[in-house]
Chains A and B, each alone.
Chain A
Amino acid sequence: MSLEAQERAKRLATLPFERTGAPTAGGVGGFLTAVRDAWRQRQLLDLLIRRELKARYKDSSLGFAWSLVRPIVMLLIYYFAIGKVLQAERSIPQYAIFVFAGLTIWGLFNEIVSSGTSSIVSNAGLIKKVYLPREIFPLAATGSALFNFAMQLIVLTAATILLWQFPWHVELLYAPLSALVVLTFGTALGILLSAVNVYLRDIQYLVEVAMLILFWVSPIVYSYRFVAQAVTNSGLGEWALELYLANPVTIAVLAFQKAFWIAGDAPGAAVYPDNMLLRLSIMIVIGLVFIVGAQRVFTRLQGNFAQEI
């Protein structure tokens, strides 16, 4: 027997035995192990995100430029068709920026949840053949959604400069907080739904419908001022408004508009709920707890992934 073989045997004899498969230990400790495992795979995570982005525009000659074209066209439509022709600008000044700010943060949430939900099923080939911490698939979906978000953010910033509306004020700091709310809730939902979707394929269609509803119950194309007015007019009282604000996407959208839409600073142009900072912080904390919970459920469900896909 060669020397190398003896060396290897000696080294192997010193290694501790590890249980195969995913750790199933419960509680927060199990969550921390999962985070550590996923962190160890960050290079792979990076490659998976690149794979997703590269594969998307692989055979097109313009490549990544396409990820800018769509938001630009969208912005132009909102500026001319809705803002000028439908005259939405009369009630909401700088409508294009208002809507695009909302759409940018909404797009992040939508993409994280939608592509997160299908991430495990669409990576079936990998999951059936190799063991990896499976959380990295919904996380990779989050990563590529962040890239598209960055693209939209560039277009949004360019638009604010062109329209002489650059948001140079303290409220700009609301933007990262708003993104954090969306990131925590989106990732938690992505992790949770990606696992459930393996067992129940209807989930991904359910998510489509839920997203449509969520889009219209968030103040993206209409302003929160209208909602507050409608509630006052109908005499429903404070609780109806609080119910409306219990939606984390609503809070995130409002904070993002506060950050990027300076036309709303004009008197009477916009209404924001009180205690925005407090609301954002509460949402972030709830979102973090939600991530831990979602990951625990994911761990429970992932043992049978390879055979259910």
Chain B
Amino acid sequence: MPQLIDAPEVIRVQDVSKRFVIRKDKSLKERIVNFRRSNQHKDDFWALRDVDFTIEAGSTVGLLGANGSGKSTLLKVIGGIIDPTDGVVERRGRLAALLELGAGFHPDLTGRENVFLNASILGLSRQQTEGYFDSIVAFSEIGDFIDTQVKFYSSGMYVRLAFAIAVHVDPDILLVDEVLAVGDEPFQKKCMDKIKEFQREGRTIVFVSHSAGQVQELCDRAIVLQHGNVVFDGPTEAGILALRESFNP
């Protein structure tokens, strides 16, 4: 994948650490009873440790790692959904996140109503959504079901509609978290084509996937995480090797 000349940085992750406190007491009674010993009822877990990198505009970065290595947490920190315990994440440009598809969908509303709601959550105004609406429906191949409540949708239809919305909000940065596995093969291909089109248009894509094939096909850079630490940052081919290595230490 050719790089832009003098590509500006769009994401700066600076010394980011994220600690999860696992509490074993959730209710008021337990808290009061265990007030003095409250530290015994906490466990610290570092999901990310001193992660530090920058991403330039137009690059496609694959986040790799075993289950529980902190990939999704890192993606959420970049998306601003979780605040880091230490460190700063800075970014610029419009962001769209496909973290879990249909997150903003309300099951009782129709596909049409959900398109407007979801697009608005991703930052489009009503007029813009109206302009894109036909194109969104066409891309999702939902057809007449657009006026059906989404609780009757199949999981494939869910994913297609959500993906169609996310790619229409004109993002500068797209965060994708292993969601593409749900659609059928023709739709997956369509998504891949769309992502490639995004690459040509100079959009930045950060991508979490367990499929080495997809990563190899799309990414020009791989970041491998292991127990919250970055163990590799560099070209994709070598990244996949590093990933295999991280599986059997």
Q: What is the interface of chain A, defined by CB distance below 8 A to chain B? A: 1-2, 4-9, 12-13, 15-22, 24, 43-44, 47-48, 51, 54-55, 58-59, 125-132, 200-202, 206, 303-304, 306-307
Contacts and interface: CB of A to CB of B under 8 A. Distances in A.
Contact of A20 (B3, B80, B117): B80
A44 B120 contact: yes
Interface in B1-17: 2-8, 10, 12
11 contacts: A9-B58, A12-B57, A17-B12, A20-B79, A20-B80, A20-B91, A44-B121, A128-B100, A200-B27, A306-B76, A307-B20
B83 A129 contact: no
A7 B202 CA distance: 9
A20 B91 CA distance: 7
Contacts of A7: 202
Interface of B: 2-8, 10, 12, 20, 26-29, 31, 57-58, 76-84, 88-93, 97, 99-100, 103-104, 106, 108-109, 113, 116-117, 120-122, 125-126, 149, 172, 200-203
Contact of A8 (B6, B117, B203): B203
B92 A125 contact: no
Contact of B106 (A2, A51, A59, A127): A51
Given A12-B8, A200-B31, A126 B103 contact: yes
Nearest to A5: B202
B108 A20 contact: no
Q: Which residue among A8, A51, A131, A304 has the maximum number of chain B CB atoms within 10 Å of its CB?
A: A8
B172 A130 contact: no
Nearest to B20: A307
Given A6-B4, A307-B20, 6 more contacts: A20-B77, A47-B120, A59-B108, A126-B121, A129-B99, A130-B81
A283 B99 CA distance: 44
Given A2-B200, A5-B58, A59-B108, A21 B4 contact: no
Contacts of B5: 1
A106 to B, nearest CB: 27
Given A20-B79, A20-B89, A303-B83, A125 B103 contact: yes
B78 A20 contact: yes
A16 B103 contact: no
Q: Which residue among A13, A16, A44, A201 has the maximum number of chain B CB atoms within 10 Å of its CB?
A: A44
A18 B78 CA distance: 11
Contacts of A16: 92
A13 B99 CA distance: 26
A58 B108 contact: yes
A130 B202 contact: no
B2 A1 contact: yes
Give the 5 A-B CB pairs with smallest separation, nearest first: A5-B202, A129-B103, A20-B80, A303-B83, A13-B8
Contacts of A131: 79-81
B91 A8 contact: no
Contacts of B203: 8
Contact of B90 (A20, A55, A128): A20
A54 B109 contact: yes
B172 A12 contact: yes
Contact of A130 (B12, B88, B97): B97
B108 A1 contact: no
Given A20-B78, A303-B83, A130 B104 contact: yes
A9 to B, nearest CB: 5
